[in-house]
Amino acid sequence: MQRIELAPAAALFRSLGDPTRLAIVRRLSAGPARVADLVDAVGLAQSTVSKHLVCLRDCGLVTSDPVGRSSVFQLAQPALIDVLAAAETVLAATGNAVELCPTYGTGGQP
């Protein structure tokens, strides 16, 4: 497989690679939510959550519907739930070794 063929998959993983975006996707895997709900779930400022939602929407991973004066966000791709479940399975199987990876892990740092 050529690197160019892997570019879309790499972009998907980069879009999920930010802890805040991943937390938003995880929360939305439980069902639709307003920005205020997502702010409560991730514990960050509304502007920060909104910035990450724009990224996820631009990547085609979430959609939103206006409801009154707010918007309700949901996963555009329900298969993301399967991606999250598969990631949890891999993490459990590797003993979370990815977290200790010297290149991409936290190296045991909080």
Query: The pTM is what?
Result: 0.84
**Helix 46-58 × helix 35-42 angle, to 10°:** 110
Has residue 100 got a pLDDT over 70?
A: yes
The span from the CA of 41 to the CA of 19, in Å, is 13
| pLDDT tens-digit readout, 76-93 | 999 999 999 998 898 888
Please tell me whether residue 74 adopts helix, strand or coil conformation.
strand
Query: Degrees (nearest 5) of the Cα angle 18, 20, 23?
Result: 110
Q: In Å, what is the CA distance from 5 to each residue of 9, 60, 94?
A: 8, 19, 27
pLDDT digits (tens, 9 = 90+) for 14-73: 999 899 999 999 999 999 999 999 999 999 999 999 999 999 999 999 999 999 998 999
CB 38 within 8 A of CB 26: no
